[in-house]
Protein backbone atom coordinates (compact mmCIF):
# COMPACT_ATOMS: atom_id res chain seq x y z
CA UNK A 1 0.00 0.00 0.00
CA UNK A 2 1.49 3.31 -1.10
CA UNK A 3 0.85 5.86 1.63
CA UNK A 4 1.75 8.82 -0.58
CA UNK A 5 -0.77 7.76 -3.22
CA UNK A 6 -3.47 7.26 -0.57
CA UNK A 7 -2.77 10.68 0.94
CA UNK A 8 -2.92 12.29 -2.50
CA UNK A 9 -6.31 10.67 -3.19
CA UNK A 10 -7.62 11.73 0.21
CA UNK A 11 -6.52 15.33 -0.33
CA UNK A 12 -8.19 15.27 -3.72
CA UNK A 13 -11.43 14.00 -2.18
CA UNK A 14 -11.15 16.62 0.56
CA UNK A 15 -10.85 19.40 -2.03
CA UNK A 16 -13.92 18.11 -3.90
CA UNK A 17 -15.89 17.88 -0.66
CA UNK A 18 -14.94 21.40 0.38
CA UNK A 19 -16.04 22.70 -3.01
CA UNK A 20 -19.36 20.84 -2.76
CA UNK A 21 -19.92 22.07 0.80
CA UNK A 22 -19.22 25.67 -0.21
CA UNK A 23 -21.66 25.40 -3.12
CA UNK A 24 -24.39 23.98 -0.87
CA UNK A 25 -23.82 26.65 1.77
CA UNK A 26 -24.11 29.36 -0.89
CA UNK A 27 -27.33 27.80 -2.16
CA UNK A 28 -28.69 27.75 1.39
CA UNK A 29 -27.81 31.43 1.90
CA UNK A 30 -29.39 32.44 -1.39
CA UNK A 31 -32.66 30.70 -0.47
CA UNK A 32 -32.77 32.38 2.94
CA UNK A 33 -33.24 35.85 1.42
CA UNK A 34 -35.67 36.66 -1.37
CA UNK A 35 -34.06 37.27 -4.77
CA UNK A 36 -35.21 40.88 -4.98
CA UNK A 37 -34.17 41.66 -1.39
CA UNK A 38 -37.72 42.29 -0.21
CA UNK A 39 -39.39 40.56 2.66
CA UNK A 40 -42.88 39.18 2.77
CA UNK A 41 -45.70 41.56 3.34
CA UNK A 42 -48.36 43.62 1.73
CA UNK A 43 -47.61 44.88 -1.76
CA UNK A 44 -47.46 48.63 -2.12
CA UNK A 45 -50.00 50.36 -4.36
CA UNK A 46 -49.51 53.19 -6.77
CA UNK A 47 -51.66 56.30 -6.52
CA UNK A 48 -53.80 55.10 -9.43
CA UNK A 49 -54.41 51.75 -7.74
CA UNK A 50 -55.39 53.50 -4.50
CA UNK A 51 -57.86 55.70 -6.39
CA UNK A 52 -59.35 52.61 -8.04
CA UNK A 53 -59.79 50.88 -4.69
CA UNK A 54 -61.26 54.03 -3.20
CA UNK A 55 -63.85 54.32 -5.98
CA UNK A 56 -64.70 50.63 -5.72
CA UNK A 57 -65.18 50.83 -1.95
CA UNK A 58 -67.28 54.01 -2.30
CA UNK A 59 -69.58 52.16 -4.67
CA UNK A 60 -69.65 49.16 -2.33
CA UNK A 61 -70.64 51.21 0.72
CA UNK A 62 -73.22 53.12 -1.28
CA UNK A 63 -74.85 49.81 -2.23
CA UNK A 64 -74.65 48.59 1.37
CA UNK A 65 -76.39 51.76 2.57
CA UNK A 66 -79.24 51.29 0.09
CA UNK A 67 -79.78 47.68 1.19
CA UNK A 68 -80.32 48.60 4.85
Q: CB neighbours of 45 closer than 8 A, spacing ≥ 6?
A: 53
Helices and strands, number each (H, E), in the chain: 2, 0
Q: Is pTM, for the whole model, over 0.75?
A: no
CA 29 to chain centroid, in Å, comes to 10
Q: What is the pLDDT of residue 28?
A: 86
How do residues 33-67 score in pLDDT, each as one tens digit?
Answer: 666 666 677 888 999 999 999 999 999 999 988 77
How do residues 9-31 score in pLDDT, each as one tens digit?
Answer: 999 999 999 999 999 999 888 77
Cβ 45 vs Cβ 53: under 8 Å:
yes
- How far is Cα 56 from Cα 49, in angstroms, rounded to an integer? 11
Amino acid sequence: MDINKTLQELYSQKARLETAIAALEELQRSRATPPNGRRRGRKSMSAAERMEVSARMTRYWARQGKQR
